[in-house]
Amino acid sequence: MMDNFTPNRFVDELNEAGIPQDFHDLLSGHGVGALVVKMGIRFSELSAERTVATMPVAGNTQVAGILHGGAHVVLAETLGSFAASLHAGPGRHAVGIEVGATHHRSIASGTVTGTCTAIHLGGTLATHEIVMTDEKGRRLSTARITNMIRDNRG
């Protein structure tokens, strides 16, 4: 059963995901999301201009034993969406309208790092490029996400 009344009920989830304390109030009502938790994504930087997180390969592989292409996209969309949401600011939210990825190299073990960099931060659209690398810094995939910035409904 979901508890909608306990303040900061996601504090453990936010800490586990590496969310800086400065952002706990912003995310305390909904946490980081079940998929972020399930994929093992851990944030190390969080801003509209640059967001960085890691994800383990273990548990996120496809039948051939390599990181699933969709896992690359989950990491990319997570980073781009968090960055766009920060850009949107209070009273607004980001809604993904386009995501695409190119896979350059496979990985079968270790940790993937996603680095999200703003390409465009406008009043109605935010576009980010996300580069996934392995532990040696080799590029695994490149993704781009565009989010529409909308006003919250009152």
Token pair, residue 87, equals 């850009």
| Residue-wise pLDDT tens digits, 47-92 | 999 999 999 999 999 999 999 999 999 999 999 999 999 999 999 9
Which residue's structure tokens are 């209070």?
90
Alpha carbons 150 and 42: distance in angstroms, whole number? 27
Predicted model pTM: 0.91
Q: Which of 28-32, 66-70, 103-107, 115-119 has the lowest mean pLDDT?
A: 28-32
User: On the CB side of 117, how many CA atoms lie within 13 Å of its CA?
Assistant: 6
Reduce the DSSP state of residue 153 to 3 states and report it. coil
Bridging pattern class, strands 111-121 and 139-151: unpaired
Element (H, E) at 140: strand 139-151
Is residue 77 annotated as a catalytic residue, yes or no?
yes
Active-site residue (options: 13, 16, 45, 77): 77
Bridging pattern class, strands 111-121 and 125-133: antiparallel
Q: What are phi and psi of 85, to 5 degrees?
A: -65, -40
